[in-house]
Amino acid sequence: MGSFGCLSVLFVSVVVLVLNSPTVQCGCYKRIFSFGDSIIDAGNFVHAIGNGPSSYKEFPFGMTFFHHPTGRISDGRILVDFYAQAFQLPLPPPSMPEQDSGHFPNGANFAVLAATALPGSYFHRWNHTLPTGWDLGGEINWFKEMLHRIAPSDGDKRRILGESLIVLGEIGGNDYNFWFGARRPREQAFQFIPDVVGCIRYNAQELIGLGAKTIVIPNNFPIGCVPEYLDWFGGPGEPRDEHQCLRWFNDFSARHNEALRGVVNQLRARNPGVKIIYTDYFGATMEVVKTPAKFGIGNPLVACCGGNNQHHTNDGCNRTTRLWGNPDNFVSWDGVHMTDKAYHAISDGVLNGPFADPPLLRTC
């Protein structure tokens, strides 16, 4: 996230991070390794595109916490940043810039925008092409290459992983997002669920086999409350719940989450010495949607940065589009991804309960 020119600036930065931490817990984990998509991408996508243009490289991204763009798809921190702060660790850096040279003493973030759980080849049977080639298996392979480089022996690998917190997702949302976004038959997406959660199970077991002792496995968000979904599919006749979210799409997310909970139970039964933490991003988000005033939020179904349509999603988020107010008053940052404020609220429910089983701070 950038180097600092002198120790005094570094000290001040560390103090700011600690003071902004939701909870402080020292000496529990030495590293955090995370995997996922744009929800927790800390800069891998902007590194991957090199000098190519991207609004993610520009203001107003990063405006509220870092005060400059960092490659995170938010106005500030992402979920894994709050977990790091809670355990008094530096924020996990994106892995790509130092994939072949970094030693990552405090962990690394392998998540990248547009990543799916399943590989793109899986969807070819339906004549469906994904926009990128990034998937969970690829991220795990990057991780294994890095791990072998910094810890050649099996004993060293197991020691490093045994001291680390693994955050495996959220991942799998894009397997469905790209299908729905292409306006493919929505009911057909149900058949992907067993394979998506099976892929998550396989990769979690792979990490356990390498020596992981604590793994966070988050579920999927309530996509029926996402502003872009509301504009895509929220036409006349589309059923809504009492919070004006799209009922069918939230029910779909709930089906995925039910299957994922079953996978977590299978992993726990197979690996009794491993802490596997099921985290309920769906429930934590709905808590904010149901009671926005409790969190200082206005309308939870509109984007802070974007266009002029009903949910502010028709013009993306970039340096020329409108900011509709202080991001601290919004759940959605750009119509798809959330604000620092929303991620803070969700992370608090994961760290302290009730939206994790068990609460993350009780795993030490």
User: Active-site residues: which are they?
Assistant: 38, 334, 337
From residue 357, alpha-carbon distances to 44, 218, 245, 351 in Å are 29, 10, 26, 10
The length of the chain in residues reads: 364
d(CA 312, CA 305): 7
Which runs of E-coded beta strand occur in the chain? 31-35, 107-109, 164-168, 214-218, 275-279, 305-306, 322-323, 356-357
From residue 254, alpha-carbon distances to 25, 135, 222 in Å are 32, 22, 8
Tokens linked to 244? 């004006």
Phi-psi region of 34 (alpha: psi -120 to 50; beta: other; left: phi over 0): beta
Alpha helices for 118-211 (secondary structure H): 136-150, 154-162, 173-181, 193-210
From residue 127, alpha-carbon distances to 45, 122, 203 in Å are 26, 10, 26
- Note the maximum CA span of the chain: 60
HSE-up of 238 (CA within 13 Å, CB side)? Answer: 16
Say which residues have a Cβ less than 8 Å from residue 240's Cβ, sequence separation at least 6: 234, 246, 247
128, burial (CB in 10 Å: exposed 0-12, middle 13-18, buried 19+): middle
DSSP 3-state helix, strand, coil percentages of the chain (rounded to 5)?
A: 45, 10, 45
From residue 177, alpha-carbon distances to 39, 114, 181, 229, 267 in Å are 13, 10, 6, 9, 26
CA-angle at 270, arms to 192 and 109, nearest 5°: 60
